[in-house]
Every structure is written in C-alpha cells, then in structure tokens.
Structure 1
Amino acid sequence: MNTSSTQGIKTVLHPVSDLERAKAVYTALLGAPPQTDGPYYVGFEVAGQHIGLVPGGGPQGLTGSLAYWHVPDVEATVAEMTAAGATVKEAAHDVGGGRLVATVIDPDGNLLGLLQDR
C-alpha cells in the first residue's frame, strides 16, 4: 500500500565551484536575487520552486544536480522505495526548520532526494 504521494520536484541543488559567479548567473536566469545568501548555501525561491547552490558539492559531496521530490512522509517513502529495490544513501534527518531530507539510489544508480516539510 502506497502511504506516500509526491508533490513533485520542487527543490533542486546544484554544486558550484565559484559561489559568487554562480549566484550572478542564477540571479540573471531567475530574475530575482537569492532569499538565502550565505557562504555555504545560496537559495532562490522562484515560481514555487527552490533552487539551491552549494559550494564544492556541500556536505552531500554532490558532483551533479540533485532534485528533491517533496513527499508527506519521508520515512514511509524511503521504506517503500527500499522495499521496491532502492538503496538508502542518506537516511532521513532534520536539516533545520522542521525539514526532513533523505537520499536514495535507484537500481540504475540515480540519486533521488526526498524532502518533507513539517
């Protein structure tokens, strides 16, 4: 029984090597300045989506963009996905503000992010 449903991909993180240059490029693309602007993370909120820039791949060690599927229950979704053949890369944990995230790897090696706002 599927206890989780997705609200779609609303959050995408991009690893960047030069945060200031990337911030300028994404500001030009999105037509708005970042809402979160720090040395370890820059975040934009545009058209119902969150676009994040993480220098050096951030604590996740990202080497490519990571899309986060918004779900009502991260732990239930992780359980269902692992039962179906996915592997947990990063277990569900709180990243602040009541937001839970987890990452799983599908059978083909694709990294999928899961996000729950409480």
Structure 2
Amino acid sequence: MTGPDTPAIRTVLHPVSDLAKAKAVYAALLGVPPQTDSPYYVGFEAGGQHIGLVPGGGPQGMTSPVAYWHVPDLEAKLTALTAAGATVKEAAHEVGGGRRVATVLDPDGNVLGLLQDR
C-alpha cells in the first residue's frame, strides 16, 4: 500500500554531454517540451515523472542516470539509510524552490538519490 509518505521514484536525472542535442531527443521521446530550460538544467514533466538533463553531470559529477526517491523527511531518511549501511555521497542541500536533495551509496556503490519538497 502506498500513500503520501511512501517513498517513490518520481525524478530521474541524466548526465548529458550536449544539452541542446539531449533536449531534442528527450522532447521527442516524451512528446512534450521542457518545463525548465536553462543552460545548467533542462527538466521535463511527463507521465507523473520528472526527467532532468544535467550537462557534464552537474556539480554532483554524475556519470550515469540517478533515480531520486521522493521522501517526506530527508534528514530522517538519511539517518535510517546510514544506520542500515549506506554511505552519504552528497550531503543534503537546497537546490531551489524549497527542494532539498542528497545522494547515498548502497553497499555495492549504487547511487540512490533522495529528494524532499517543502
């Protein structure tokens, strides 16, 4: 059973080398224009998902797509995950509009993104 406090993947960020070319491909794939279109980030809303394009991996230095789990309390989830054996890769920080993000590594080094909207 899911509810508003159940973590769910609703955001996936993709590192891209050429933002303009990637924007065209993702617009064709999703069938919608980007809702956010800037030199440092392009974001699409489609099918209840947010798909983001980050040139050069952004400040996080992403090298592969990262799925972001939307959680109601970022700090509590970070505490629970590190207690369970995850390692913080990117500490919690604000990315604009009251949105906070963080990333952790699972025991095998997979990146898990966490996102909290305020």
TM-score, normalised with respect to structure 1? 0.94
Q: CA RMSD in A?
A: 0.8
Distance of 2:98 and 2:112 partners within structure 1: 20
- Could you say which residue in structure 1 is the equivalent of 2:102? 102
Preserved CA contact (<8 Å) 1:12 1:52 = yes
Partner of 2:37: 37
Distance in 2 between the 1:70 and 1:84 partners?
19
Q: How does 1:59-78 map to 2 (within 5 A)?
A: 59-78=59-78
4+ runs deviating over 2 angstroms: none
What are structure 2's unaligned runs of at least 5 residues? none
Match of 1:8 in 2: 8
5+ long unaligned stretches in structure 1: none
Distance in 1, matches of 2:61 and 2:27, equals 24
Residue type at the aligned position of 2:99: R
User: 2: distance between equivalents of 1:76 and 1:60?
Assistant: 22
* Alignment partner, residue 87 of structure 2: 87
3-state DSSP class of the match of 2:69? strand
Superposition deviation, residue 47 in structure 1: 1.2
Calculate the TM-score normalised by the size of structure 2: 0.94
How many residues end up aligned between the 2 structures? 114
